[in-house]
Structure 1
């Protein structure tokens, strides 16, 4: 039985000097911010999950503490599907997306962590997974006042030297001419052996995305991520039909129902989703299997803390995905949250064999990275 549910707001300020296009356009950036859910069972097992908290950690924490916790206390922690449905239906009138689903995501992942620990198996095996390593591509090329073309060149060269065969560069925060010049530099660095993708973080209009997409085709870009606002699925479908460069997205979508519409409308060529905001491991597995049925490749998204990265990795193994996203920006909530080091081998993330998520949180984490407000 579930004995207690605790949540913690964690922040890391050191990531603030780099921005994506949406942050540049909004003239603001949040610190690296997550909400960690800790679930304790009556027989002493503890599991952890991570929730999306970009500037909304207070609301996510309140949702977990005041709405979701009372729903699952004293329930059987092994009934993960039942508990997911209970939380989703209880928040139906004000949820279905956003903060409510972010809260459910953290709870669901923590329940899977407990299940793995109880059965002494890694989550990927509970899900029927088989891949021991998943090839990672690195998201970089963020905008920064300190990053000129030469520093961009050095950054991308570092990823290549580490053995990564895919990189993704942020676009949309400068003029089209400037971004194309940045991409030219990146292509010169990586040569023909490394895939280069781009991510506009939803900032283009349809016309801007179409014009940029035509230029990206000429450069042989791997995929064009989130070119326009996620809500414009018909326009995204029109864009996907008009361009040869594959459209990828939309990690800013939630749950199987929204992703069904994305795939049904043929709004993307590549599906991207993330356990920390789509509904947790349970929901991401449903989305991934639906993508298989409908013939879409899936690449797990990643942008926040270490818990979500590892949870995405377990799902990637279970689904047999070819790629997973990672970034190497300074981020203690990824690199210093665990007692163990995240394993990277020849450009691949290694799936842990230890029970549950396979990583142990350091005791000092909740105090050390406690948000100041």
Structure 2
């Protein structure tokens, strides 16, 4: 059993949307295919992967470092103890050979992209959905039959006023979502408050709305905005300042009385540990958004889950960023709170399997081997080009 080929390609996911920090006019992503010599249904097993939105395609380091490192390794180094399948943990160690600790940079995205493809292949070789493999091998054997998802949108766009914003949110409710998220911090406070109030008119209460600053605020701005929105009792107030400014997070946690969410731009178990140690986060109320596809993959993500458990946090505090099927499998198999969803943007990566519509804020998963990419036609059509 061995990996015989790995292909990578950068594909565009550009659009006219923007948040408080960046626009997506030149955004792209890497897609990868990992081909094995294992035959299932008369064809070689191929695992697919991609990186989440918000970080550009790591094509250079994939092609120059990580793909060659994977292909040059001995096949025996990659196998599990029984010799019956690839070992994602051993492959992680291979990929990280001669990599110094710290200064993680874009390599977290490159390794996370390959890791997704490896897990897809491993589950396909076992001929089970990834969520069931995770539940059986790393969880308690049970799965969540349906997973909570929320609709992430509310981006700033040219000529997008309150009416257009409200129409967008109505569309998400019509699609079956019960909670929505919008961007804030990119316009003056008074204008954002009008935008928030307009969305609450649509979704019914602040508990059905999250707001996301994308790291734009300093401490003074974060506290001022939090004071202005606290009476709305929003579902959460997200990524208020720089993701590594744990002191800002700690000071905000002292004065903001409701749930805070962060973590999507922390890409290692050590950074996640520092967040839990020093940022004043509350395990009874707050949410963590680490995204395996951006942070060295599921192998690293499971280390983060173990760390959280040691510090008194539950997997139910986790709602990964990214809105992709990989995190949906993790949520179902390892009992997370839920998963983000991008029903309107970042296609074909956003959204879930065809025929599995959102109902009352929850979605089910296909009974397909692997991550289930083959059950999402527009995404699978793209991945097949590899």
TM-score of the superposition, structure 1-length normalised?
A: 0.87
Contact 1:225–1:247 under 8 Å retained in 2: yes
Q: CA offset at residue 335 of structure 1?
A: 6.2
SS in 2 for 1:254: coil
What SS does the aligned partner of 2:30 have?
strand
- Aligned with 2:369 (options 346, 355, 362): 355
Structure 2 match to 1:264: 277
The residue aligned with 1:327 is 342
Aligned mate of 1:40, from 35, 39, 63: 35
C-alpha separation in 1, matches of 2:46 and 2:152: 32
CA distance in 2, matches of 1:282, 1:219: 38
SS at 1:127's partner residue?
helix
8 Å CA contact 1:271, 1:291 repeated in 2:
no
> Is residue 2:16 matched to residue 1:21?
no
Contact in 2 for aligned 1:32/1:331 (Cα 8 Å): no
1:285 aligns with 2:292: no
| Alpha-carbon separation, structure 2, partners of 1:49 and 1:41 | 14
In structure 1, how many angstroms separate the alpha carbons of the residues matched to 2:188 and 2:238? Answer: 17
Change (3 A) 1:355 1:161: same
SS at match of 1:208: helix
SS in 2 for 1:253: coil
Alignment of 1:226-241 (within 5 A): 226-241=239-254
1:11-58 deviation per Cα after TM superposition (whole angstroms, max 9, x unaligned): 134xx22211112xxxx433442101211112322101112475642x
CA distance in 1, matches of 2:191, 2:53: 31
Instruction: Flag the 1:220–1:31 CA change in 2: closer, same or farther, 3 A.
Output: same
Query: What root-mean-square deviation, in Å, do the aligned CA atoms of Structure 1 and Structure 2 show?
Result: 2.4
Which residue is 2:65 aligned to?
Answer: 67
CA distance in 2 between counterparts of 1:234 and 1:198 reads: 21
CA distance in 2, matches of 1:63, 1:214: 43
Instruction: Please state whether the residue corresponding to 2:192 is helix, strand or coil.
Output: helix
**Maintained 8 Å contact 2:181/2:210:** yes
Aligned residues: 353
Distance 2:29 2:46 in 1: 19
| Separation of aligned partners in 1, 2:128 and 2:326 | 14
Which of the residues 163, 186, 189 maps onto 2:176? 163
Which residue in the other structure is 1:83 paired with? Answer: 91
Match in the other structure for 2:225 = 212
Unaligned runs of 5+ in 1: 304-308
Give the whole-Å Cα distance in 2 for the aligned partners of 1:363 and 1:142.
27
CA contact (8 A) 1:216 1:245 kept: no
Q: CA deviation at 1:300?
A: 1.0
* CA displacement at 1:2 relative to structure 2: 1.3
In structure 1, the residue matched to 2:112 is 105
Say if 2:206 and 2:234, in contact at 8 Å, map to a contact too. no
